[in-house]
Structure formats: structure tokens, C-alpha cells
Chains A and B, each alone.
Chain A
Amino acid sequence: AQSVAQPEDQVNVAEGNPLTVKCTYSVSGNPYLFWYVQYPNRGLQFLLKYITGDNLVKGSYGFEAEFNKSQTSFHLKKPSALVSDSALYFCAVRDHLNDYKLSFGAGTTVTVRA
């Protein structure tokens, strides 16, 4: 079975400060890891993914994520947050053996204050 945990329901940061959204995962094989963002009344937008290779992955809108196999983590980061980054963020994992089914975390609401 595969699963994702996002330990923080909410993250609050001031604009211009670094933003980190935490994610840990559990899969039986090698993971494919994804971050999505959801704005109110909108679908999920893809931000970035880790498949293999470099542990630091860069994605859209200045976001990056670091894959840590020993800690089974895939934390999302942004060096300088913007008010427009306020949204709901989901981490998701897919097992390379069952490469169709995404398992999502419960989501983390990010609020960036001006």
C-alpha cells in the first residue's frame, strides 16, 4: 500500500520569507513523487515531480522540492514566498509498479501575509 502524510494542516509565513511544506511518503517500491497546488474552486495544478536522478527538483513558480530517501520525505520549498502563493498544496506518490494510481496527502493550506 502507498500513502502520503502532510503533518501540517496549515503553514503561515510572511511575504518574502522562506516557505516549506512538509511531506513524507510510504511505498513498497521506488516512488514517483508529485506536488500539486489547488486554488479555490479550481482543479489541481501540477508543480513538480521527482522520478529519478538529482534529489533537488525545480518546478513552476519558483518552487523546488528535495527528495530524501532515508527519511522518505519530499518537502516543498520556496526561498521567498509571495502573497499569491496562498493556496492548498497536495503531495502525492505513485509506486512505479502501479504507475497509474496517485495517492494524495490531506493537503496543507499555505497563507502568506503581506
Chain B
Amino acid sequence: DTGVSQDPRHKITKRGQNVTFRCDPISEHNRLYWYRQTLGQGPEFLTYFQNEAQLEKSRLLSDRFSAERPKGSFSTLEIQRTEQGDSAMYLCASSSRGQGTEAFFGQGTRLTVV
């Protein structure tokens, strides 16, 4: 499968614990994005990378969130000291550079904080 893959698909964690999600983009794509989707809402932009550089972060991304993309390949999204409000679907997407190029999404990681 040459699409965007995310791991794990589901994560249940206790409040206050740290969690880390992984995203493997389509190999030739140099742009990688993270979005968050809650029930009944469309995805909301969190952050994006061009190669290994994190070029934009949403105000939604509090200090407890950190994302990395070492060597411009896979990416990780870490949430520290999780809160119940962090429960959501976390979507990763990738695209090639160029105006108007579409983003391809992974199947997401569903986080439940109990």
C-alpha cells in the first residue's frame, strides 16, 4: 500500500499520560500535515512540515503538543499530559509541493482520554 499510513489506529489512555502517534507519508511527498477532527466537525489544521522543517503551527496546538519530522520522512505527534478534551481523531496527510496539489489523508488515529 503506497498511501499515507498512521499508527496506532486507536489509542485509549488515562488522563495525564503522554501519547505519541506516527505518520508515514507517501514517499515522494515533501509536505506533511496534521489535522484534528472531533465528532460532527470537519478536520482542523494543526501543523505542517515541508521536508523536515515545521513551517506553521495552529493556535490549536498548545504547548503540550509537539510534532517532529526527522529527516523529512515519517512524522510523530506527541501529546503530553493528556486531557479529556484531547479526545479526537488525529489525521495525517501528505502532498507534493505545488499550488493546488491535493492532500492525501491517512485513516487517522482515534484517541480516547479516560
* Number of A-B contacts defined by CB within 8 Å: 61
Cross-chain contact of A90 among B31, B42, B45, B108 (Cβ < 8 A): B42
User: Which of the segments B11-19, B66-74, B77-85, B95-103 contacts the partner chain?
Assistant: B95-103
Tell me the bound Cα distance from A71 to B59 in angstroms: 31
Question: A99 to B99, Cβ gap below 8 A?
Answer: yes
Number of interface residues of B (CB under 8 A): 26
Question: B45 to A101, Cβ gap below 8 A?
Answer: yes
In chain A, what residue has the closest Cβ to B92?
A43
In chain B, what residue has the closest Cβ to A88?
B42
Residues of A within 8 A of B99 (CB): 32, 51, 96, 99
Q: Mark A residues whose CB is within 8 Å of B.
A: 4, 32, 34, 36, 41-46, 49, 51-52, 90, 92, 94, 96, 99-107
